[in-house]
């Protein structure tokens, strides 16, 4: 008589250890290599006189001169203040309005036409109106930056609330959670990735609007300095302003990206 042996259970597969440091290290190496290659190409282009560009050493020398005489620090402070205030005010207003539009259909029906209308109008096109209505002080400069940040953030927040999985909301209601608890425990965490992406996009729009905003009777700022340098064909100063805007924008974007990773750590990542 044949003996039937019961099937043996397969041992569960061991999870592969995640390499925590290899990927960031590789990314850093690639970033440094890209920077070196970019500087080399820039140096070669300027060395052979293509497009009449100043070389990296010339731009670095000009940046040193501006740093020594205090011009660069004053321009950095003025531009950072305008971008930070405009971006902070725009985001602070956009997030609650986006939640309001996403949570209440009546508010969405009333406000969405205006949001979509002004989203189609470039903030730069409102500069003449801002000058007429708000004067030539700091207010119109901050206003156009505020508008750029607001429009991107409010649309992203609205989209985040609308895209929340209805199953999560229904499950919370079945468990007896009131609307306030659902909003705090379900809607806000689920919308956080959209809000942070909108903030990053709004930050880029704020820096993009800065140069035009500083057309409004500014006496300091990176955009103002670049426009003054344009009149005298001072290309090194223009490059200093471009690089400063890019570096500051990237630094602020990295901070938002770090906040996004910390606030959305529960999210599945691929």
Q: Is 95 contained in some domain?
A: yes
The reported pLDDT for the residue numbered 53 is: 82
* Confidence band for 1, pLDDT divided at 50, 70 and 90: very low
Would you call 252 helix, strand, or coil by DSSP?
helix
Residue 5 lies in a domain: no
Count of structural domains, the chain? 1
The stretch 211-237 carries a mean pLDDT of: 85
HSE-CB for 40 with a 13 A CA cutoff: 6
Q: Give residue 45's pLDDT.
A: 82
Long-range contacts made by residues 60-65, C-beta under 8 angstroms, separation at least 24?
A: 61/236, 62/236, 62/237, 62/239, 62/240, 63/240, 63/243
Residue 73 lies in a domain: no
Question: Tens digits of per-residue pLDDT, 161-172?
Answer: 888 888 888 888
> Distance between CA 209 and CA 127 in Å, rounded?
10
> Does residue 60 lie within any of the structural domains?
no
Among 43, 157, 19, 37, which residue's Cα sits nearest to residue 96? 157
Which of 157, 186, 184 is closest to 169 using CA atoms? Answer: 186
Question: Are 195 and 60 within 8 A, CB to CB?
Answer: no
- The verdict on residue 238 lying in a domain is yes
Phi, psi of 51 (to 5 degrees): 65, 10
Burial group, residue 208, by CB count within 10 angstroms (0-12, 13-18, 19+):
middle
> Quick one: average pLDDT of 175-201?
85
pLDDT over 70 for what percent of the chain? 89
Tell me which residue range forms the domain holding 90: 80-263
CATH of the domain at 110: 1.10.3720.10
Residue 18, pLDDT above cutoff 60: no
Is 3 within the bounds of a domain?
no
Considering the domain boundaries, does residue 10 fall inside one? no
Look at the alpha carbons of 250, 256, 258, 264 in this order and tell me if their dihedral is positive or negative: negative
Kindly tell me if the per-residue pLDDT of 210 is higher than 80: yes
Mean pLDDT for 231-236 is 88
Q: Which of 16-20, 99-103, 212-216 has the highest mean pLDDT?
A: 99-103
- pLDDT, tens digit, 9 for 90 and up, residues 57-112: 989 999 999 999 989 999 999 999 999 999 999 999 999 999 888 888 898 889 98
Q: Let me know if residue 59 belongs to a domain.
A: no
């Amino acid at each position: 008589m044949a003996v039937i042996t019961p099937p043996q259970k397969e041992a569960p597969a061991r999870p592969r250890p995640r390499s925590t440091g290899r990927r960031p290290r590789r990314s850093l190496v690639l970033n440094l290599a890209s920077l070196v290659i970019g500087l080399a190409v820039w140096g070669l282009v300027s060395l052979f006189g293509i497009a009449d560009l100043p070389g990296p050493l010339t731009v670095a020398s000009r940046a040193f001169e501006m740093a020594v005489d205090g011009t660069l620090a004053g321009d950095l402070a003025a531009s950072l203040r305008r971008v930070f205030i405009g971006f902070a005010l725009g985001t602070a207003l956009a997030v609650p309005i986006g939640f309001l539009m996403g949570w209440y259909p009546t508010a969405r029906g009333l406000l969405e036409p205006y949001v979509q209308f002004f989203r189609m109008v470039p903030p730069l096109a409102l500069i003449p109106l801002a000058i007429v209505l708000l004067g030539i002080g700091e207010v119109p400069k901050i206003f156009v930056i505020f508008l750029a940040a607001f429009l991107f953030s409010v649309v992203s927040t609205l989209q985040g609330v609308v895209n929340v999985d209805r199953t999560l909301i229904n499950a919370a209601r079945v468990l007896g959670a009131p609307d306030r608890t659902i909003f705090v425990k379900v809607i806000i965490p689920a919308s956080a990735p959209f809000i942070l992406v909108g903030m990053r996009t709004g930050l880029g729009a704020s820096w993009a609007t800065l140069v035009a905003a500083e057309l409004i009777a500014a006496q300091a700022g990176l955009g103002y300095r670049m426009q003054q340098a344009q009149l005298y064909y001072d290309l090194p100063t223009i490059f200093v302003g471009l690089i400063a805007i890019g570096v500051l924008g990237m630094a602020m974007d990295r901070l938002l990206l770090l906040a996004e990773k910390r606030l959305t750590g529960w999210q599945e990542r691929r």
